[in-house]
Amino acid sequence: METRMKILLKSMLTYMVVNLLFVTNAVAQSNKPIIGVGDFESSFSNYDSNSIREAVSTSLSKSNKFKLIERGRLDQILVEQGLSMSGLVNGEITGYGGFEAVDYMLYGRVTQVALKAKNQLIISECQARLGLDIKIVDIATGEIVRSENVIEKDSVNISDTDSNPCRGIGLNSFDKLTAKVARIVAAKITQAIFPVKLAQVKGEQVYLNYGADYLKEDEKLKIVTLGEGFVDPDTGEVLGAEEKVIGIVEVTELKSKFSIGKILMSNGTLKVGDVAVRLDNSDQRKLKEKISSCKSAKRSERKICKSEGKSCDKAIRKAERKCSF
């Protein structure tokens, strides 16, 4: 009897855990922003812009950060509801087909499709180039959350006999490049809406909410607090927000869904929710100089502070100054 009761209790506990996981997952899914993928325009008749639109949609879906509603389905819903595109702005598609509203619309325009031969001393190379402008609009406010121009190139043929290595190269040569551009665009969109953030802080170690698909090992990020955002009064594009740098972290280990890093420098205490931003070239140069200066001051501090005294206090203050922003 006691054994049967234990089995029953175990079964009930398993049932409750499974249901809790299901409900938790359902809540997480319902909280995901909904992106409508609009038309991707192209003035290049030899390139099907639908291929890049579908590739971007696939990459966004793989991020697991959004619900996606493609343009074909979007048009169908609008027709069935007797609405126009303006209905999106007013949230009038609420409750249809499981979608409560469309939060963002994504638009694109192919700006470059080209094959270019590069002749070198021994070999000739054919490079494919693909350019894409994207714009993502917040439906509720009409603001342009992010606009980007992505241009990438890829070697599609190498020859040591033909001076024109692009001869006979077809449009299928752009397949790999299309996928590459789509991944870059999806990453930029994802991080515009969901910035990289500190998910946990343990001493000098931090955990970031993005993994190997978005970050790189040894990559350095600045930790910032964001002030009030501001927009272009003419275009409605979100230009940015005032940033205050409070720390620098370095990615040391990559996982599939998160990354681990170490704090290199900080002004005060870093906390969960602080935003991590990639460094541009200018930031990287300044950081290199700052880290070098900080390390030098730390070495001097350790050397001087082997014995206590005023010199040690002075060295500590100097190190703090050199290692802060």
The reply to whether 76 and 17 lie within a common domain is no
Q: What is the mean pLDDT of residues 15-43?
A: 59
The reply to whether 168 and 70 lie within a common domain is yes
pLDDT of residue 11: 53
DSSP structure string for 163-224: S-TTTT--GGGGHHHHHHHHHHHHHHHHHHHS-EEEEEEETTEEEES--TTT--TT-EEEEE
The reply to whether 167 and 109 lie within a common domain is yes
Q: How far apart are CA 193 and CA 168, in angstroms?
A: 42
pLDDT of residue 137: 84
**Which pLDDT tens digit goes with each residue over 74-108?**
777 666 656 555 555 444 444 444 444 678 888 89
Whether 173 is covered by a domain: the verdict is yes
Q: How far apart are CA 212 and CA 302, in angstroms?
A: 36
What domain range is 14 assigned to? 1-31
Q: State pTM to two decimals.
A: 0.65
Whether 117 is covered by a domain: the verdict is yes
Q: How far apart are CA 107 and CA 35, in angstroms?
A: 11
The reply to whether 44 and 87 lie within a common domain is yes
The reply to whether 134 and 228 lie within a common domain is no
Whether 149 is covered by a domain: the verdict is yes
Q: 2: how many CB neighbours lie within 10 A of its CB?
A: 6
pLDDT of residue 155: 87
User: pLDDT averaged over the chain?
Assistant: 78
| 146 beta partners | 136
Q: Which residue has the higher pLDDT, 303 or 307?
A: 303
pLDDT of residue 8: 54
| 112 has pLDDT over 80 | yes
| 106 beta partners | 37, 136
Which residues are CB-neighbours of 262 under 8 A, at least 6 positions away? 204, 205, 206, 249, 250, 252
The residue among 193, 218, 252 that closes a domain is 193
Closest by CA to 155, choosing from 192, 115, 194, is: 115
Q: What is the mean pLDDT of residues 307-311?
A: 72
pLDDT of residue 208: 95
The reply to whether 78 and 51 lie within a common domain is yes
The reply to whether 62 and 178 lie within a common domain is yes
The reply to whether 148 and 221 lie within a common domain is no
Whether 299 is covered by a domain: the verdict is no
Number of structural domains (the chain) is: 3
Whether 308 is covered by a domain: the verdict is no
| 120 has pLDDT over 80 | no
**Which pLDDT tens digit goes with each residue over 206-254?**
999 998 878 889 999 999 887 666 666 666 555 666 678 888 999 999 9
Are 151 and 129 within 8 A, CB to CB? yes
DSSP structure string for 246-267: EEEEEEEEE-SS-EEEEEEEES
Whether 313 is covered by a domain: the verdict is no
Whether 310 is covered by a domain: the verdict is no
Q: What is the mean pLDDT of residues 8-34?
A: 48
